[in-house]
Structure 1
Amino acid sequence: MADFDKLVVGFLVDEVVGGFFVSVPPGHVACIYDRGAGVLPRVWGPGLHLKLPFWQVAKLFNAQILEYTIRKGFDINQKEALGDEPITTVTQDGHPISVEGSLLFKIDKANAPELWENIGDNFVSKVVRPFARSRIANIFTQITADQIRSSRTQVEEALKQELNRLFDDKGLIVEGVLLSEVKILDQSNQPQKEIIFENSPSSTPLPTH
């Protein structure tokens, strides 16, 4: 399935019997745009629902957990594709690094109407990518290379909490952040050596913020 087809906001809803009914499949929810009242606050779950034909338009949202991958070779020209290039930043002790991993996220079903009305269809390029890129880079500037080596789980949890704080009013929920590879870069921003993660808790607590 193409990345575009896996986006939270879908573009097709199965309308049946002359547009009087909307069929919402499992794992999805639907919202309604009313030509008189605008986007209605109600969210429809899976099943068959009644609407006014021509006067009301349904929008389908994928409510399942989606994976946003940050990896080498990702095509950044696909603005709404679920991913990004490796994120480069500098650790607290001055090491330039490259970060790869995944964000697992989904829509907040209760706030799907607000997501549609306030952000629209291009939520990846408007919210997910710029917020994730900025906050991931910022978190790593607050910790040392040694802390990264020994505190993988704590770093992932700090990233999850920070992104959820920013996404709270955007209708999105981060279920998890999974780091797959962090590399120290040389002066020309080329990989020098990979940082080895350990799952055991760090003896050095991470900074709070």
Structure 2
Amino acid sequence: MAARLLNRLAGIGFGIAAAGAIVNSALYNVPGGHRAVIFDRFSGVLPVVSGEGTHFLIPGLQRPIIYDCRARPRNIPVQTGSRDLQTVDITLRILFRPIVESLPTIYQNLGEDYDERTLPSFTTEILKAVVAQFNASDLITQRELVSQSVRELLVERCGGFGIILDDISITHLTFGREFTNAVEQKQVAQQDAEKARFLVEKAEQYKQAAVITAEGDSKAAELLSTAFLEAGDGLIELRKLEAAEDIANQLSRSRNVTYLPSGQNLLLTLPSN
């Protein structure tokens, strides 16, 4: 009896384990930010997209394919040439994600590595086409226009394959050594030209200042000459008084002078001629 009971319990336990294994194989989980498509051995890829959570499938006949539907970055470096035949190394940063409703078609046409099959080739082709329309200097000064042109073409191209591009930006842009040296030499020449222009303007200012000073001295001499002619000896006497007053003030502040002559005013007896 005990042996029979043990065998029955073992059979029940085996049946429960088998049933649990079957139930477990019939369930699959879709993580947050992901979606799943089902491949059926008889029907192929089902047109239904499974959302986040736990779902059922037929074990042995159906298999889930999980896709990450969150925005993911990708850097794509490209070496190409500008319109003036300069070598350009450019890197494009793309933020992409799949269109959820297009996941069955994406799996049928591109597979799970859809981004690897499309983005590098599309980006390389479009970057070469856009960069070839600009000169090397325009790529620097019109960088936003270049990025916008690439964005428009790439969004349209990827949209046909069920891919959404949330952001496109040029993160790296360099040129060949010859062009870089030419730019540096041009900058040095511009700085030298600015310095020379400054020196010329400075010399011109000095010249104008000298002319103005000379005109002022000439005008002052002319006024003095006119004053002498009109005032006669009176102006000379006035200048003598002013000079005597100035000398007296200076002597009064000197430590080596203890008194001033009182018999006559200083300079008043100087001859007028």
The two structures have a TM-score, normalised by structure 1, of 0.69
Task: Say whether residues 1:192 and 2:198 are aligned partners.
Answer: no
Using the TM superposition, give the Cα deviation of residue 153 of structure 1 relative to its aligned residue in structure 2, in angstroms: 2.8
Q: Is the 8 A contact 1:28 1:63 kept in 2?
A: yes
Name the structure 2 match of 1:173: 164
Which has a greater percent of helix? 2
Q: Deviations over 1:112-153 (max 9, x none)?
A: 111111111343442111111111121111123333223333
**Whole-angstrom CA distance in 1 between matches of 2:162 and 2:22:** 29
| 2:147 equivalent among 134, 145, 156 | 156
Name the structure 1 match of 2:31: 25
Q: Which has the larger radius of gyration?
A: 2
Using the TM superposition, give the Cα deviation of residue 39 of structure 1 relative to its aligned residue in structure 2, in angstroms: 0.4
**Whole-angstrom CA distance in 1 between matches of 2:129 and 2:104:** 31
**Whole-angstrom CA distance in 2 between matches of 1:23 and 1:32:** 12
Within-5 A mapping of 1:96-175: 96-175=87-166
Matched position secondary structure for 2:103: helix
**Whole-angstrom CA distance in 2 between matches of 1:168 and 1:66:** 16
One-letter amino acid matched to 1:22: Y
Task: Say whether residues 1:59 and 2:65 are aligned partners.
Answer: yes
* Higher RCO, Cα 8 Å, sep 6+: 1
**Whole-angstrom CA distance in 2 between matches of 1:39 and 1:98:** 41
| 1:35 equivalent among 24, 34, 41 | 41
Matched position secondary structure for 2:139: helix
Moved more, 166-175 or 36-45: 166-175
Using the TM superposition, give the Cα deviation of residue 19 of structure 1 relative to its aligned residue in structure 2, in angstroms: 2.3
Q: Give the superposed CA RMSD.
A: 2.3
Question: Segments of 4+ in structure 1 off by > 3 A?
Answer: none
How many residues are paired up? 162
Q: In 2 relative to 1, CA 30–16 (structure 1 residues): closer, same or farther, beyond 3 Å? A: farther
Matched position secondary structure for 1:23: strand
Matched position secondary structure for 2:101: helix
Q: Is the 8 A contact 1:16 1:23 kept in 2?
A: no
Using the TM superposition, give the Cα deviation of residue 94 of structure 1 relative to its aligned residue in structure 2, in angstroms: 2.8
Using the TM superposition, give the Cα deviation of residue 16 of structure 1 relative to its aligned residue in structure 2, in angstroms: 9.3
Which has a greater percent of strand? 1
Q: Is the 8 A contact 2:22 2:59 kept in 1?
A: no
Name the structure 2 match of 1:69: 75
Specify every segment of 5 or more residues in structure 1 that has no aligned partner in the other structure, as ranges.
1-14, 71-85, 196-209
**Whole-angstrom CA distance in 1 between matches of 2:146 and 2:127:** 10
The two structures have a TM-score, normalised by structure 2, of 0.54
**Whole-angstrom CA distance in 2 between matches of 1:161 and 1:53:** 45
One-letter amino acid matched to 1:146: S
One-letter amino acid matched to 2:78: I
**Whole-angstrom CA distance in 2 between matches of 1:157 and 1:16:** 54
Using the TM superposition, give the Cα deviation of residue 154 of structure 1 relative to its aligned residue in structure 2, in angstroms: 2.8
